[in-house]
Amino acid sequence: MALMTEAFALGAAPTVQPAARLISQPVRAAQDAPTRGSLSNSAAGAAAAVVAGAMAARRGARQANARPRAALRSINPDNFSGVCEQTGVTLNRYMIEANRQGVVDSDVLSVFNSIREATKVISKLVNTAPLAQAELLGLQGEVNVQGEDQKKLDVITNDVLKKALKYTGKLGTMASEEEDEPVSASLEGLGSVLADTGKYVCVFDPLDGSSNVDAGIAVGTIFGIFSEEAAGAACDLPTNIKDLDDDQVSCLAATLQPGKNLVAAGYVLYSCSTELVFTIGRGVVGFTLDNSIGEYVLTRPSIKIPPRGKIYSCNEANIDKWDEPFQQYIKDIQMGKGETGDKYSLRYIGSMVGDVHRTLLYGGLFAYPADTKNKDGKLRLLYEAAPMSFLLEQAGGLATTGHSRVMDIPPVNVHQRVPIVLGSKEDVEECKKYYEKSEDPKLKERCANRLKGLVTS
Ligand code: AHM
Ligand code: MG
């Protein structure tokens, strides 16, 4: 659930929806830009220089600690020496081993420590919300930029995660579904702790699926970690950002990265048990929170999604509004007319984390496609679709918009939406064929534009 009162857009396409109130001038200026990326005029050149300067200053301060990225290597818990027979492999132990093997640096280790502690608190809050009643349940009274009601737990969990991440001292920037714009450490009171040390960008949705939370139904936290260094090369700058101040510019440049730049990503599912599932680019692992010792314990050392499933998961109430290829695909697998000849079953919670978790373990497909009302679907690229796509790919699955790999799409807006179809490799490939056959020129154009960094809604 998002709380923002406005999207923080960069260089939108001519057809972009107007959305400017709070951040006003800088954002409007950026939205007025006809396209992004080319930096051909002098204003753009000056803006680029500002960005480059801000980024370089941050990078320069960190140069001494820079370490080369480790060679690909999987972490095998069977090789850990001296694992406690009582606790098994805790998350802390696992990450320390990953650090020893050079798979993650100590900064990522610190960020994971924060996520671990914050999500334990969120798990407790979600579990005890019915007992706390008015303190934790119900609406906060605000409406976000998408016109959605803000839940009390959205606000509280965002705060828990944000503070935990800030105090690591290892993040330069963070972006949350619950914030209007990326939060640079130096823009807020805690800045002095972070400003000179941060080299990672954390994106997160603290309480995804929160419309379910008052009913005690599964919800989750989604997170992704980018390296700020990678932004310099990959972040295509807008043509008109001269009105942004240096911190804002630096934040945006560091935050708007495609999913393929992710260093780590994962989710925590708050359900019958609390499950932390993540990737650090070496496959996918799953931990379960053992409340008796207050630790995440390794329960799934290597998660691989089955290559085929028999379940599809999407809000079928929208079927008449979906893009035609997705409508046809679903109709076919419902009736056993797909490649396998099996009739697929529908399972849908309406909490992405819960639906993706089941898809990951049982196989099949989860989707939130575009529809006539939401031309880019509902789910957010940066902190929902991209982290989940990284995770699914690392588990042997696929994630696509129907047309392109989600991980390849360059975000131009922190809260940009994207259609998504993810799951078992063969199921997603089958679905993709329906899109490839489509002759709809508008659909093709929308899909192609996304890859070029042009958003249409
Ligand atoms: P939220 O971030 O505001 O909670 O919205 C995201 C959620 C996803 O968890 C879920 O997949 C989707 O919204 C469900 O939407 P719908 O109710 O339209 O099916
Ligand atoms: Mg969400």
C-alpha 102 – ligand 2 centre gap (Å):
32
Q: Tokens in use for 336?
A: 């056993």
What does the pLDDT look like over 2-60, one tens digit per residue?
A: 333 223 333 333 222 222 211 212 222 233 232 333 323 343 344 444 445 555 555 45
DSSP tag of 241:
-
Contact of 261 with 234, CB cutoff 8 Å = yes
Which residues touch 299 (CB under 8 Å, ≥6 apart)? 275, 286, 287, 288
> Which atom of ligand 1 lies closest to the CA of 368?
11
What does the pLDDT look like over 136-147, one tens digit per residue?
A: 555 555 555 555
> Which atom of ligand 1 lies closest to the CA of 351?
9
Query: Tokens 């490799």 belong to which residue?
Result: 425
> Which atom of ligand 1 lies closest to the CA of 146?
3
Atom 12 (ligand 1) nearest CA: 350
How far apart, in whole angstroms, are the C-alpha atoms of residue 428 and residue 397?
8
- Ligand 1 in contact with 154 (CB < 6 A)? no
**Which of the listed residues 208, 219, 382 should we mutate to test ligand 1's pocket, taking the one with most ligand atoms within 8 A of CB?**
208
pLDDT, residue 23, reads 20
What sign does the dihedral 439-371-177-248 (CA atoms) show? positive
> Which atom of ligand 1 lies closest to the CA of 177?
2
Atom 1 (ligand 1) nearest CA: 1
**Which of the listed residues 157, 203, 315, 352 should we mutate to test ligand 1's pocket, taking the one with most ligand atoms within 8 A of CB?**
352
pLDDT, residue 311, reads 98
pLDDT, residue 30, reads 32
Q: Which helix (H) or strand (E) holds 129?
A: helix 106-132
C-alpha 419 – ligand 1 centre gap (Å):
12
How far apart, in whole angstroms, are the C-alpha atoms of residue 199 and residue 380?
23
Backbone angles phi, psi at 221, to 5 degrees: -115, 135
Which stretches in the chain have pLDDT values below 70?
A: 1-73, 133-150, 169-198, 230-254, 456-457
How far is Cα of residue 328 from the mean position of the Cα atoms in its chain? 28
C-alpha 351 – ligand 1 centre gap (Å):
6
- Ligand 1 in contact with 210 (CB < 6 A)? yes
How far apart, in whole angstroms, are the C-alpha atoms of residue 436 and residue 320?
20
Q: Which ligand has the minimum distance to the alpha carbon of residue 144?
A: 1
**pTM of the predicted structure, to 2 decimals:** 0.80
**Which of the listed residues 157, 348, 349, 379 should we mutate to test ligand 1's pocket, taking the one with most ligand atoms within 8 A of CB?**
379
Atom 7 (ligand 1) nearest CA: 209
How far apart, in whole angstroms, are the C-alpha atoms of residue 156 and residue 136?
8
- Ligand 1 in contact with 378 (CB < 6 A)? yes
C-alpha 379 – ligand 1 centre gap (Å):
7
**Antiparallel, parallel or unpaired: β 311-313 and 345-346:** parallel
Q: Tokens in use for 415?
A: 């809260």
Q: Tokens in use for 430?
A: 């089958």
- Ligand 1 in contact with 208 (CB < 6 A)? yes
In 3D space, the residue among 112, 115, 107, 113 whose CA is nearest the CA of residue 69 turns out to be: 107
Share of the chain above pLDDT 70, in %: 67
Go through the domains of the chain in sequence order and give each one's CATH number.
2-7+17-32+88-300 (3.30.540.10), 311-452 (3.40.190.80)
Query: Tokens 């939205």 belong to which residue?
Result: 31
- Ligand 1 in contact with 209 (CB < 6 A)? yes
Q: Which ligand has the minimum distance to the alpha carbon of residue 368?
A: 1
Full 3-state SS string of 79-109: HCCCCCCCCCCEHHHHHHHHHHCCCCCHHHH
- Ligand 1 in contact with 315 (CB < 6 A)? yes
pLDDT, residue 378, reads 95
How far apart, in whole angstroms, are the C-alpha atoms of residue 94 and residue 328?
44
C-alpha 192 – ligand 2 centre gap (Å):
30
Of the chain, the end-to-end C-alpha distance in Å amounts to: 19
Contact of 210 with 154, CB cutoff 8 Å = yes
Atom 3 (ligand 1) nearest CA: 1
Q: Which helix (H) or strand (E) holds 262?
A: strand 262-270
pLDDT, residue 373, reads 87
Contact of 392 with 398, CB cutoff 8 Å = yes
- Ligand 1 in contact with 368 (CB < 6 A)? yes
Atom 16 (ligand 1) nearest CA: 350
**Which of the listed residues 315, 365, 388 should we mutate to test ligand 1's pocket, taking the one with most ligand atoms within 8 A of CB?**
315
Q: Which ligand has the minimum distance to the alpha carbon of residue 373?
A: 1
C-alpha 219 – ligand 2 centre gap (Å):
9
Residue 221: which region, alpha, beta or left (left: phi > 0; alpha: psi -120 to 50)? Answer: beta
How far apart, in whole angstroms, are the C-alpha atoms of residue 76 and residue 347?
33
Composition of the chain by helix, strand, coil, percent to 5: 40, 20, 40
- Ligand 1 in contact with 350 (CB < 6 A)? yes
